[in-house]
């Protein structure tokens, strides 16, 4: 019994550097978005330059996640994690030292290599550190890090950019990364390779090209135009590469992605549930900053404080839900989570421009509860259903699909808001209520006609309500899928079987 307690303490201590690393990688994207206007000003960058600062990271990450997860199954995962932290920390320092847009783009791609290696192995490390039946709460910590990164990014990025400079958005990673590396050497136990087979680099290249083109089309379609030749080319060209990848993996002896993973019903249902959640979350959180910073005239930092109820509530709910998912049928927790998420979206369909901080805080509380109830049990159930020799592969698949879901959520959110805005303001569908646009309209209202300002505020508010009224159906669909198809009893039976073996 004492040995079990000691092992449990060691596992939780080992989770500290892992959680720090994951949070740093996830936070990086949301922190950078706040700093991009200042970077653009310092480097006299074009809109295309700014897009590629973001694209270089996202495309590299998506292209490497599955490969990175698979490699993690073949080597010591603790060494692999430490190497990933080293690459991410070094590249963060180089990003802060960038002397031009081109150098920053290159260093961002290098940063994404470390990020892919790290984030594609976190769930796998948790799975190895904690035995079945005891990893639910640990998966909750993973959920907390994920949720917190969405809303804390603008707060941290806004403060650093305003009070120091955009360079500190990257410098911040350096001490955190070094500290995490030192803790990893001290606390991470040896995590030996689970399998040694040839790496399918050809399959990795096919998948990387396909997913990169698909992601590029999704992220840039709003800017290029969805019927633009470049957008269409990205989607069309990605298809044969994806088909070639699938054909190779089905016939290759050592596949990069073993499609038998998807025969595990709980794994597939969990992916669908999480994908819908990330899609809806991204579409929602894409719209809200324009409302807060444009219509409400808040700074990026202030808007982060307005959304803090999501990670705050999730911090309490996610570990508890994860722990409960090892004791009661996780189907009920997982199907209940999206209903809370839908409730929050429903409340947002009636939000007014006069909403107070505490009213807004309360309306986002169900979203934090829903994320906590769904994410940590889902990760627990998914990873527990996969053989240990494939957990890195599964981790990479989960992260890849989540990343694509986030990109699609932002894209669809942009499409919906633009289409509805165009109904309200014909010919002005490309306008969004960013602080610069709203300041211009306010000046115009004071010196001339207030009608454009009134039209923008009314048009965007109604368009935002429209987006939420459509997105609200997604978590309801997710809940139904989980309730109908998840085999929660299998997860509990596996835990009972493990306990009977131990006795």
Instruction: Convert the pLDDT of each residue in 99-130 to its tens digit.
Output: 888 898 899 999 999 999 998 888 888 888 88
* 1 has a pLDDT exceeding 50: no
pLDDT (0 to 100) of residue 343: 93
| pLDDT band per the 50, 70, 90 thresholds, residue 83 | very high
Instruction: Convert the pLDDT of each residue in 311-335 to its tens digit.
Output: 888 888 888 888 888 888 888 888 9
pLDDT (0 to 100) of residue 439: 63
| pLDDT band per the 50, 70, 90 thresholds, residue 90 | very high
Check residues 91 and 219 and name the one with the higher pLDDT. 91
Cβ–Cβ < 8 Å for 45, 101: yes
Q: Select from 245, 214, 243, 252 the least CA-distant residue to 231.
A: 214
| pLDDT band per the 50, 70, 90 thresholds, residue 287 | confident
Distance (Å, whole) CA 450 – CA 441: 8
* 261 has a pLDDT exceeding 50: yes
Q: Could you give the maximum distance between any two Cα atoms of the chain, in Å?
A: 81
Of the CATH numbers 1.10.3330.10, 1.10.10.10, 1.20.1250.20, 3.40.640.10, which one belongs to the domain with range 2-199+256-502?
1.20.1250.20
Q: What is the mean pLDDT of the chain?
A: 81
Q: Select from 307, 292, 310, 333 the least CA-distant residue to 479.
A: 333
* 184 has a pLDDT exceeding 80: yes
Instruction: Convert the pLDDT of each residue in 125-148 to its tens digit.
Output: 888 888 777 777 788 777 777 777
Check residues 358 and 221 and name the one with the higher pLDDT. 358
Cβ–Cβ < 8 Å for 339, 370: yes
Using DSSP's 3-state secondary structure scheme, residue 283 falls into: helix
CA 382 from centroid of its chain's CA atoms: 17
446 Cβ neighbours under 8 A, 6+ residues apart? none
Check residues 271 and 289 and name the one with the higher pLDDT. 271
Instruction: Convert the pLDDT of each residue in 363-390 to its tens digit.
Output: 999 988 988 888 888 888 888 888 888 8
Tell me what percent of the residues of the chain surpass a pLDDT of 90: 12
pLDDT (0 to 100) of residue 181: 92
Check residues 386 and 419 and name the one with the higher pLDDT. 386
319 Cβ neighbours under 8 A, 6+ residues apart? 137, 140, 141, 144, 376
- 153-157, 257-261, 472-476: least confidently modelled range: 153-157
Distance (Å, whole) CA 164 – CA 468: 36
CA 56 from centroid of its chain's CA atoms: 16
Plot region of 100 (φ>0 → left; ψ -120 to 50 → alpha; else → beta): beta
Using DSSP's 3-state secondary structure scheme, residue 449 falls into: coil
Q: Select from 3, 7, 29, 39 the least CA-distant residue to 153.
A: 29
Q: Select from 281, 243, 12, 26 the least CA-distant residue to 139.
A: 12
Distance (Å, whole) CA 70 – CA 459: 48
Check residues 341 and 35 and name the one with the higher pLDDT. 341
- Core vs surface per residue 140-161: b (16+ CB within 10 A) or e: bbbbbbbbbbbbbbbbbbbbbb
| pLDDT band per the 50, 70, 90 thresholds, residue 394 | confident
pLDDT (0 to 100) of residue 2: 40
């Amino acid at each position: 019994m004492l040995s079990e307690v000691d092992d449990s303490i060691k596992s939780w201590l080992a989770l500290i550097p892992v959680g720090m690393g994951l949070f740093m990688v996830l936070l990086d994207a949301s922190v950078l978005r706040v700093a991009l206007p200042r970077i653009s000003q310092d480097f006299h960058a074009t809109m295309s330059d700014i897009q590629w600062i973001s694209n270089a990271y996202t495309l590299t990450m998506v292209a490497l996640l599955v490969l990175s997860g698979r490699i993690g199954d073949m080597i010591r995962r603790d060494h692999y994690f430490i190497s990933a932290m080293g690459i991410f920390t070094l590249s963060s320092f180089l990003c802060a030292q960038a002397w031009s847009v081109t150098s920053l783009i290159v260093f961002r791609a290098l940063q994404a290599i470390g990020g892919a290696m790290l984030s594609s192995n976190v769930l796998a490390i948790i799975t190895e550190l904690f035995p079945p039946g005891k990893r639910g709460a640990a998966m909750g910590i993973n959920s907390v890090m994920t949720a917190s990164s969405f809303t804390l990014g603008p707060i941290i990025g806004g403060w650093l950019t305003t009070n120091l400079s955009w360079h500190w958005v990257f410098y911040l990673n350096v001490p955190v990364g070094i500290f995490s590396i030192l803790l990893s050497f001290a606390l991470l136990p040896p995590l030996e390779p689970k399998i040694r087979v040839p790496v399918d680099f050809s399959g990795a290249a096919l998948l990387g090209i396909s997913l990169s083109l698909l992601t590029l089309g999704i992220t840039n379609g709003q800017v290029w135009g969805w019927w633009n030749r470049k957008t269409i080319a990205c989607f069309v060209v990605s298809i044969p590469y994806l088909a070639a990848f699938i054909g190779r993996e089905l016939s290759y002896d050592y596949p990069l992605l073993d499609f038998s993973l998807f025969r595990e019903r709980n794994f597939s249902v969990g992916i669908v549930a999480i994908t819908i959640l990330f899609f809806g979350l991204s579409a929602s959180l894409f719209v809200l900053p324009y409302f807060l910073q444009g219509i409400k005239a808040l700074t990026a930092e202030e808007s982060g404080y307005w959304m803090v109820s999501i990670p705050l509530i999730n911090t309490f709910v996610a570990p508890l839900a994860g722990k409960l998912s090892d004791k009661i049928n996780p189907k009920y927790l997982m199907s209940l989570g999206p209903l809370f998420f839908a409730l929050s979206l429903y409340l947002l369909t009636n939000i007014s421009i006069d909403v107070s901080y505490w009213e807004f805080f309360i309306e986002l509380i169900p979203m934090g509860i829903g994320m906590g109830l769904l994410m940590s049990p889902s990760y627990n159930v998914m990873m527990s259903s996969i053989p240990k020799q494939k957990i890195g592969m599964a981790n990479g698949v989960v992260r890849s699909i989540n990343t694509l879901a986030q990109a699609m959520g932002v894209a669809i959110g942009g499409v919906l808001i633009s289409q509805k805005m165009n109904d309200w303001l014909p010919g002005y569908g490309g306008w969004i209520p960013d602080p610069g646009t709203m300041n211009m309209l306010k000046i115009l209202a004071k010196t001339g006609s207030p009608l454009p300002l009134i039209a923008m505020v009314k048009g965007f508010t109604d368009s935002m309500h429209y987006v939420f009224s459509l997105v609200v159906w997604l978590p309801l669909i997710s809940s139904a899928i989980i309730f109908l198809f998840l085999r929660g009893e299998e997860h509990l039976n596996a835990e009972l079987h493990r306990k009977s073996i131990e006795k």
